[in-house]
Amino acid sequence: MTRYAVGIDLGTTHTTLAVAPLEGDPAPPEVLSIPQRVSQGQIEAQPLLPSFLYFAHASEGPQALPWDAERTFVVGEYARARGVDAPARVIASAKSWLSHPTVDRRAGILPLGAPEDIEKISPVETSWRYLEHLVEAFDARFGGGDASLTQQDVVITVPASFDASARELTVEAALAAGIEKLTLLEEPQAALYAWTLGMGDAWRRQIAPGDVVLVVDVGGGTTDFSVIAAVDKDGALDLVRVAVGDHILLGGDNMDLALAHLVRQKLEAEGKAVDRWQQVSLVHACRVAKERLLSDASLASAPIAIASRGSALLGATLRTELTRDEVTRNIVDGFFPSVAGDARPTTRARAGLTQLGLPYASDPAVTRHLAAFLARQSGALSRLEGISRRSAGEPGERAPRLLAPTAVLFNGGVMKADPLRHRLVETLDAWLAADGAPPVRVLEGADLDLAVARGACAYALVRRGKGLRIRGGTARAYYVGIEGAVPAVPGLDPPITALCVAPFGMEEGTEAALPPHELGVVVGEAVRFRFFGSSVRRDDKAGDALDEWKPGELEEQPPIEVTLPAVGRREGDVVPVRLRSRVTEVGTLLIEAEPLRPLHADERWRVELSVRAG
Amino acid sequence: MLQTLPLPTRLWFAWVCFFRVLFDGGFASAAWAARGAAPALPAAPAPPSPLPPTLASTVAPEPVRALQLLSLLQREGRLVDFLQQDITTFPDADVGAAARVVHDGCRKALRAHATIEPVRSEDEGARVVLNEGFAPDDVRLTGNVGGQPPYAGVLRHRGWRATRLDLPQLMAGHDAHVLAPAEVELP
C-alpha cells in the first residue's frame, strides 16, 4: 500500500527529498534529514545530500553506514570533502554527464582519470547510487516494508531542458534503485508547485488568466528557463507550460570560480602563491564573501582568509578581501549584464580536437541566454486558447520580438541575491518596454534551496487530485531523419527529410497518430535513424514530413535504433514498419516500430533512444 | 497578609469550633498547637544545596562526545591548530587573519550543531530582580553576595545556554582520540 507522497530533487550539486503522508490530516511536505558520512567514521543526518560519490581506497577500510557495514564507496558530504584531497577518486556533476549528448551514458566513464584500482561506473549508475542512498535513508527512518521508499508515490525532478534520452536514463537509474511508482516532473514546474503550496489559497489572487509566468532557475551548475501560462478554461484557471529553454551549463559555481580567479590574481600580485588545496578553500571563501556582499548593501568589502594546509595557522594564512566593486563588476555585470533584447550569447567555435569534458556554456551572461530564449519562444502563446494576447499585425503595431512574461518566479540558490534579481528584472522590464509591454511582477516567497523537492512532493499529491495541475506535455516535437535517395556528391550531405513522429505538447499517457510513412528495417540488424527535436515547431502533426526548416529550429539528438528480432522472419529481410510514439505515465517518450504486416496482433518493437557516443 | 474576619463569620466559626474542640480530638490538638503560633505560610521551597550531597551523584563524563566536538571544530574551523600554536611572537595582523579562519569555521560548525541562547533576555547593564527560588545554575551572584531574596542587581553578563547539541554518530571502531588525521600526499 502506498502511504507517502515523495518528491526528490536529484540535483547537479545536491540531492534533497521531501515527504508527506497520503492519508489522514494533510501535512506540508517535510524535508528528510539524510544520514551520511561527514568525515572518516562519523555519520550525521543533513537535509542536503551532496551529489558526490567517492571510491574509498582499500587502505581506508569499509565506509560503513548504519545499514551497511561493508560499503566501499561514499555518497554525500564526506565524498564532497574528499573531492578536495583525492579528486581522481570522486565523481561530481553526474547529472551533467547524464545529459551529455556525445558520450555513452551507460558506459563506465566516471570518475574521469580515475586510478587503476577503481572500476569506473556510468553516469546512470552514479544517479542510481544517489537514489539508492535515499531509499536506504528513507527506509531506515520509516521502517521499510510497505513504508519503503520503493513502494511510495515518487516524483523525481529533471531540468525542463532534459531531452528524451536523459529523461529515460533518469528513470533507468530510479528503477535500478528499486523505485517502482515513479513520475518525472520538470524542475521549474516543481518550483511553481512549491510556490503555490507556500502561498496557500492566496496564490490564486496573484495569478489570473492571461498571466505568463517566467521561471528563472539558476542553480549551482545549470540555468533553466520555462514559461507557464495561466489560461481561462470554462471559467476556471488552468496552468499550461508553454516553453522550455535549452540546457545551459552555467550556474553559481561559475560565479565563485570567476571570483576565485580574481582574488588569486590579487594574491599573486602580492607575491603570495596559492596551491591546489588552497584554491578549493579560496573558491569556498569567495562564495561566502559574495553572498555576504550581495545580501548586505551596507558592506563595502568582505574579508577573505585562506588557511595553509599544514597545522600552523599563524604566519601561513593568506589574507585579502573582496570588495563590493569587484562583486558588482564580475558577478552582477559579468553574469547579468544590462543588454538589449536583441543580444544573443556568443558561441565559441569548438576546437577540432575537443577534450572529453562537459559542454559548458561559453557565454557567462544569463541575461543574454534569457534574451535568446524569449526571442526563440516569441510565438509560444500563438496556439494557446483561453489567453488574451496583444494581437500581432494590427495596423501601426509590429509583432512583439520577445515572448512577454507578466510575472517572474525565481528558483535556485543564486537567485537568493537581491542585486541579481533586481538586475534581471530591470533588464527584462527594459526589453518589455521596448516591445510596448508592461513590466513584470515578481512572485515572492519561496525557499529557493528546498523548493524543488517540496514542489515535487506537492505534485505527487496533485496527481491524486489534491490541487491544480500544470498541463503542457512534451516540450519538444520529435522527428526521424530520412536521407533522400540521391546520387552521392562528395562534400555534400544528402538532403534530409524530417518525419514528425511525436508532436509538441503530447500529454502523459497519450499516443501520437500513426504516420503514413513507411521505413524499411532489416531483420536481425540494428538499424539507426537520425533523430531531431524542436522546441519551437508547435504545429507539426505526427506524420508531417519537413523538407526544409529555418536554421536552429531543429536540433539533432543522439540517433535512435531499432532491432527486429529474427523470430518468425528471415534474417536480412527488409520489413516495412511505421513508427508510433507514446508518452508513458512516467513521463518518458516511447517510440515503437509497428510492422505493416504483423505476424500477430499488437506486434511492436521498442525503438531505443540511443545514449551512446555518436 | 491576613485579613480580619467579619463579625458574623467569627460568631459562626466560634460556634463550630466549640463543638469540634469538644468532639473532634484531632481538630482540638491542631487548634491547641496553633493557639500561639505565627500564621502558617505556604511551604517554602527547600533551599538549593550549593554542593551535590555526595560525589556519587555527579554525571559520568562523556569523553567521546567532547573529542567529537573538538574534532568538528578542528575540521570546520582549525581550532586545535590555532590553540596548539604559540602565537606570542606573531604580529596582530597574522593573529587577525588566523582568527578569521577559526571564527568563520567554528561559528558555522557551532550553528549547524548546537543552538545557543542567552540565559537572560535583558540587556547587559539592565537592573534585574531575582526572586526567591531562582535557579543557581542559571544565575551566579557576584559582588556583595549576602542577605535574603528578592535580590536587586545589575546584569553584567547574559549567560549562555545550549538548548540543542547534535553531534555526528560515531561508527563502531572509529578512534575518537584522533581529532584530525595526519595527511600524507602521494605524488
Instruction: Write out pLDDT tens, residues A185-212.
Output: 999 999 999 999 888 888 888 899 999 9
Give the structural domain span for A27: 4-185
A199, part of any domain: no
**What pLDDT shows up at residue A392?**
41
Q: Please tell me what DSSP assigns to residue B13.
A: H
Within a domain: A164: yes
* Most A CBs within 10 Å, among B72, B81, B165, B178, to test the A interface: B81
pLDDT at residue B2 greater than cutoff 50: no
pLDDT at position B56: 46
A506 exposure class (CB count in 10 Å sphere: 0-12, 13-18, 19+) = buried
The answer to whether the CB atoms of A35 and B169 lie below 8 A apart is yes
- Which of A33, A36, A40, A42 best probes binding to B when mutated, by most B CB atoms within 10 angstroms? A42
Q: Are residues A169 and A29 in the same domain?
A: yes
Question: For the CA atoms of A450, A452, A457, A458, what is the dihedral angle to 10 degrees?
Answer: 100
Q: Last residue of some domain: A131, A162, A185? A: A185
First to last CA, chain B: 86
Q: Does residue A553 sit within a domain?
A: yes
pLDDT at B60 over 70: no
Other Cβ atoms within 10 Å of A538 Cβ, number: 17
The verdict on a CB contact (< 8 Å) between A38 and B90 is no
What is the pTM for the complete model shown?
0.83
Q: Could you tell me the residue ranges of all domains in chain B?
A: 119-168
* Whole-angstrom distance, CA of residue A336 vs CA of residue A420: 7
**A351-A357-A358-A361 Cα dihedral, nearest 10 degrees:** -30
pLDDT of residue A205: 87
Between CA A240 and CA A249, with CA A245 as vertex, the angle to 5 degrees is: 140
Secondary structure (DSSP) of A285-314: HHHHHHHHHHH-TT-SEEEEEE--SSS--T
Domain for residue A447, yes or no?
Answer: no
Q: Please give the average per-residue pLDDT across B61-87, as a whole number.
A: 90
Cross-strand pairs, A19 = A6, A30
Q: What's the pLDDT tens digit per position in A409-440? A: 999 989 999 999 999 999 999 999 998 999 99
Residues A24 and A145 in one domain: yes
The lowest-confidence range among A368-372, B9-13, B126-130 is: B9-13
**Cα angle B51-B166-A412, degrees, rounded to a multiple of 5:** 150
Q: CB-based burial of residue A300 (10 Å sphere; 0-12 exposed, 13-18 middle, 19+ buried)?
A: exposed
A480/A384: higher pLDDT: A480
Domain end, chosen from A168, A185, A202, is at A185
Q: Which of A523 and A262 is assigned the larger pLDDT? A: A262
> What value does the CA radius of gyration of chain B take, rounded to a whole number of Å?
30
> What's residue B35's pLDDT?
54
Whether residue B59 is predicted with pLDDT greater than 70 in this model: the reply is no
Task: Report percent pLDDT > 70 for chain A.
Answer: 93
Q: Do both A257 and A126 map to the same domain?
A: no
Stretch 274-293 of chain A: residues touching chain B, C-beta under 8 Å: 288
- Report the CATH number that the domain containing residue A158 is assigned in CATH: 3.30.420.40
pLDDT band at A72 (very low <50, low <70, confident <90, very high): very high
pLDDT band at B31 (very low <50, low <70, confident <90, very high): low
Which residues of chain A does B90 touch, with a Cβ-Cβ cutoff of 8 Å? 314-315
Q: For chain A, what is the mean pLDDT?
A: 88
pLDDT of residue A614: 42
Q: Which residue among A320, A335, A350 closes a domain?
A: A335
Together in a domain, A278 and A151: no
What's the pLDDT score for residue B39? 38
Q: In this structure, are A313 and A179 located in the same domain?
A: no
Percent of chain A at pLDDT exceeding 90: 45
Predicted pLDDT of residue A119: 92
Q: What is the pLDDT of residue A585?
A: 86
Mean pLDDT to the nearest integer, A383-410: 70
For the domain that residue A258 is a member of, what is the CATH number? 3.90.640.10
Residue at A203 is within a domain: no
ipTM value of the model?
0.74
CA–CA min distance B144, chain A (Å): 43
Q: By the CB < 8 Å criterion, does A88 face chain B?
A: no
Q: According to the model, what pLDDT value does residue A9 have?
A: 96
- pLDDT digits 0-9 by tens, A163-172: 888 999 999 9
The pLDDT value given to residue A352: 40
| pLDDT interval class at A129 (50, 70, 90) | very high
Is residue B158's pLDDT more than 60? Answer: yes
**In total, how many domains does chain A have?**
3
Say if CB A78 and CB A56 are below 8 A apart. no
Which residue among B100, B170, B183 sits closest to A41, beta carbon to beta carbon? B170
Whether residue A415 is contained in a domain is answered as: no
B171 and A43 within 8 Å at the Cβ level: the answer is yes
- Partner B contacted by A40 (CB < 8 A): yes
What's the pLDDT tens digit per position in A232-247?
Answer: 888 888 899 999 998 8
- The stretch B136-146 carries a mean pLDDT of 91
Output the pLDDT for position A293. Answer: 93
Which residue stretches of A296-415 are H helix? 324-327, 333-335, 366-376
Contacts of residue A311 in chain B, CB cutoff 8 Å? 81, 84-85
CA B60 to chain centre: 18
| A467-509: pLDDT as tens digits | 788 988 888 899 988 876 666 666 666 778 899 989 998 988 8
> How large is the average pLDDT for residues B1-24?
59
Evaluate whether residue A602 is within a structural domain. Answer: yes
pLDDT grade, residue B119 (50/70/90)? very high
> Does residue B1 carry a pLDDT above 50?
no
Q: Indicate if A173 and A287 belong to the same structural domain.
A: no
Query: In the predicted model, what is the mean pLDDT of residues A569-589?
Result: 87
**Nearest residue, CB atoms, B98 vs list A38, A288, A313:** A313
Q: Look at residue A313 and tell me if it is in a domain.
A: yes
